[in-house]
Amino acid sequence: MRDQQLCIHGHFYQPPREDPWLGDVLPEGSAAPGLNWNERICRESYSPLAFARLLDAKGTIRTIVNSYEWISFNFGPTLLSWMQRHAPQTYARILEGDRLSRSRLGFGNAMAQVRHHLILPLATEREKRVEVAWAVHDFEARYGRLPDGMWLAETAVDTPSLEILAEAGVAYTVLAPRQAKAIADLGNDHWQEIHEDSLDIMTPYRVELPSGRSISVFFYHGGLSQAVAFERLLENGETFWSRVRGALAPGLLSLATDGETYGHHFTFGEMGLAYLLDQAHQDPDTGLTNYAAYLAANPPTRKVQLHEGSSWSCEHGVERWRGNCGCCTEGRPGWNQQWRGPLRQALRQVKEQLDSHFDKQSPILFNDPQQALESYGQVLAGLPRETFASAHFALDLDQEDKARAWTLLDMQRFAQASFASCAWFFDDLDRIEPLNAMANALRAMELAGDSGIPIGCAELERQFAKSLEAARSNPTRRHPRGLRGDELFRTDVLPRRETQASLLAQALLMGWGLSLGEFSSKKIKIVWPEVTVSLGFGKRSEAHTASGTAGIEFAGGQLRRETTWQWKPAAGTRVLHGRFKSGDEEDWFAAQNLSWGKRQALALAWAKTAEERSWERDLLLMQTGRDLFLPRAQSQDNQNQAWHWGRFRPVLAWSWITAPTGDEELLENFLKAGEMAADAREALELRLQSHLLGMLDAETPDWDAAEMVLVRAQTICPGLNYWPVQNRVWQLLAETQDAGRLARLLGIAV
């Protein structure tokens, strides 16, 4: 191993954005034109890091780098679950990066992360154990190995948390240099007080724990990490490498930042990182490694005492997640964060009652309640429920008791999620993160009610709202005087909860949107991660209504619910104003009362289907329309009354690009006359990407046809983005020389 070793670490995490009832991330208005912030940041950061470009002097792509093969990283389990469903290619590259680094170094680049990003020093022992156990289960299921290291949320640390990590077999964690208090050589207790400027961060340290166990700790370079995150060091790859190269010395130099720094916070930051990794790889004096590999070759020779309850993003310890310490992100004059304490206290009061309920109910349901709770992470990671039940459920449970056992476990899952650190990190109570924390708590309270908590869900909610009265948001344009926490709970959280009627209404309207109102099959089945709704249609009892039977099946193992339903649409086309009734309920549910994100999801289901139908119809129309263009008359520079043809420009472009023979007259007379609207260009771009990828993934790719499509597309619509096509062609270059011509057209050096 070379004397100078370098490790770049990325902490990849998103707040838990999943709707607690449906289990998927809904549309978020602030992420537009993206669907939601997970999708947007994945497009801006996580995916570019998986396919990072290195350019030559002419701007041609000379190589595409999977950064995850060369950097240390941790991903939040909830974020990876989303990526597995919605960004499978990027997800695969992350797993591949760990596998390839393990093959090269003997140890993989991936670290685990506490599952829900709880601030462990503020958590109970049970919460600590659950977070760590569920993180280990998730990691093992994804990477096929146990984790060597674990990232602590906000690097917040205390001795009890490290005890649990060490007990779980975790060998190391990574901390900020200011978290070190004193150091000493192994074997003696001559402690030397230390501060971040005098700490030697080039070596690992051992933390000796009261139990007799120990765990190793790495400290990242604070100054360089800050420069990457906040000082625009990524704007120039050569400058980035020069700064890092100058800090290298015998030992391990490591940098740690939020992974979103690369690409999301700083556009093209992933290219700056790729350049640095390439330079380090070529440098004969530098070795690229990860923490686990370095630790195996260089066990600690010194030990360290840590500041208890310290973190990397709050100079006051962990006050940022429970008090008005002054740490904030926006720094608006007159704002405060006095709401942080009351929010934590309200959530803690709920959790204490749920824990007490679990402790009273669980002994008759589980062989070992605590072991069952910690092992439930295996189910969340994909273990069949039948396997888990046979190992942990008490014998001879009937179906209702089994359903109650699953409900209790899910109750704890959502209660844990309500303490995710992001609820306190930002500046105001009136943000999506604190509201999501309240929503997860609400879901946990509902499940407590379903499993028979004596005081009932309604009383739990009343007490929770009462506790939130002490919290108040800061004045905003939407709420000039601010709102109390209980007011936000009622106005922004309670409307998000699901009932049988709201679930059935969404399933019906989703089916309506996906079929544009046809309902031809007379059956609808809508699957969300947390719940599946099936609708069957009966005979119409009166005009302009619909009714039938329905089944609601929860992923959490609760008993399937069977019911009937009725729907009365609103007058005209205002479908979201229709009313819905479940079973024998007297009250009708108005679809317009669904939360914004759920109404937007329904609107997008319709819009996607309508746009696809319109595209197919326009293609048929333009088979005739394209033949009606006449050669230009003298002095003519556009079509007469060109606006009649304007909306068909993308379809005409598509028909010319993909036609087996070119229609040069069409090209000359119309397609080059004027630009498409931005939305139309993006729609055409996405279709061309999909079309080319389909051609490339054919059993025997037709390279000539793919080249023709690309050449015509570049002629008719220069400047379109072929990023995913470049990625695929780059991969195919390793398999066949036939990809060479297409690669050159895409700006890839061959």
Q: What local confidence, expressed as pLDDT, does residue 525 receive?
A: 94
Q: How large a percentage of the chain has pLDDT more than 90?
A: 83
| Three-state SS at 515 | helix
pLDDT tens, position by position, 308-346? 999 999 999 999 999 999 999 988 999 999 999 999 999
Question: For residue 668, what pLDDT is reported?
Answer: 65
Query: What's the pLDDT tens digit per position in 533-568?
Result: 999 998 765 656 788 999 999 998 888 999 999 988
DSSP collapsed to 3 states, 380-441? HCCCCHHHHHHHHECCCCCHHHHHHHHHHHHHHHHHHHCCECHHHHCCCCCCHHHHHHHHHH
Query: What are the tokens at 18?
Result: 């999943």
CA 678 – CA 279 distance, rounded (Å) = 38
Band of residue 571 on the pLDDT scale cut at 50, 70, 90 = confident
pLDDT at residue number 520: 63
Strand, coil or helix: 12 = strand
Q: Identity (one letter) of the amino acid at 654?
A: W
Q: Is the pLDDT of residue 203 over 70?
A: yes
Asked if the model's pLDDT at residue 642 lies above 80, the reply is no
Q: Is the pLDDT of residue 671 over 70?
A: no
pLDDT at residue 652, rounded to an integer: 86
Q: What is the pLDDT of residue 522?
A: 78
Region of residue 379 (phi > 0: left; psi between -120 and 50: alpha; otherwise: beta): alpha
What are the helix (H) ranges across 558-699?
596-625, 643-646, 649-658, 664-666, 678-696
Complete DSSP assignment for 18-84:
B-TTT-SBPP-GGGTTSSSHHHHHIIIIIHHHHTEEEE-TTS-EEEEE-GGGTSEEEE-HHHHHHHH
Phi, psi of 346 (to 5 degrees): -65, -45
Q: Which residues contact 576 (CB under 8 A, 6 or more apart)?
A: 509, 570, 591, 592, 594, 599, 602, 603
Is 717 a residue whose pLDDT tops 90? no
In 3D space, the residue among 108, 312, 299 whose CA is nearest the CA of residue 229 turns out to be: 312
Q: Where are the domains of the chain?
A: 4-319, 322-496, 500-594, 602-745
Look at residue 356 and tell me whether its pLDDT is greater than 90.
yes
Structure tokens at 740: 């060479």
- Distances in Å between the alpha carbon of 318 and those of 151, 179, 195, 315? 16, 12, 18, 8
At residue 428 the predicted structure's pLDDT band, cuts being 50, 70 and 90, is very high
Radius of gyration of the chain from its Cα atoms, rounded to whole angstroms: 29
Q: Give the orientation angle of helix 88-105 with respect to helix 77-86, to 10 degrees.
A: 120
3-state secondary structure of 534: strand
Q: Which of 7, 451, 502, 371 is nearest to 225 (CA)?
A: 7
Report which of 741, 662, 663, 728 is spatially closest to residue 691, judged by C-alpha positions.
Answer: 728
Percentage of the chain surpassing pLDDT 70?
Answer: 97
pLDDT, tens digit, for every residue of 467-501? 999 999 999 888 899 999 999 999 999 999 999 99
Give Cα 482 to chain centroid, integer Å: 30
Report residue 246's pLDDT band, with 50, 70 and 90 as the boundaries. Answer: very high
Q: What are the φ and ψ backbone dihedral angles of 185, each rounded to 5 degrees?
A: -70, 150
- Give the pLDDT confidence score for residue 672 in this predicted structure: 60
For the residues 169-193, what does the mean pLDDT come to? 97
Instruction: Let me know: does 175 contact 219? Beta carbons within 8 Å.
Output: yes
Q: How far apart are CA 461 and CA 472, in angstroms?
A: 18
Q: Tell me, what amino acid is at 88?
A: P
Decide: pTM greater than 0.85: yes
pLDDT for 205 = 98
Q: Which CATH architecture has domain 4-319?
A: Alpha-Beta Barrel (3.20)
Tens of pLDDT, residue by residue over 52-111, are 999 999 999 999 999 999 999 999 999 999 999 999 999 999 999 999 999 999 999 999
Contact 684, 739 (CB under 8 A): no
Name the least confident of 160-174, 329-343, 590-604, 621-635. Answer: 621-635
Mean pLDDT over the full length of the chain: 93
| 750 or 214, greater pLDDT | 214
Distances (CA, A) of 415 to 80, 348, 358, 440, 696: 20, 10, 12, 6, 46
Question: Would you place residue 660 in the very low, low, confident or very high pLDDT band (cuts 50, 70, 90)?
Answer: confident
* Side chain identity at residue 689, one-letter code: Q
CB 446 within 8 A of CB 454: no
Residue 325 tokens, joined = 């310490």
Query: H/E element holding 163?
Result: helix 159-167
What's the one-letter identity of residue 133? Answer: A
- Residue 258 makes CB contacts below 8 A (sequence gap 6+) with 10, 11, 12, 13, 229, 265
Sign of CA dihedral 496, 499, 502, 504: positive
**Over the stretch 29-53, which tens digit does the pLDDT of each residue have?**
999 999 999 999 999 999 999 999 9
pLDDT of residue 336: 96
When pLDDT is averaged across residues 377-385 and rounded to a whole number, the result is 97
- Rounded-to-integer distance, Cα 465 and Cα 492, Å: 13
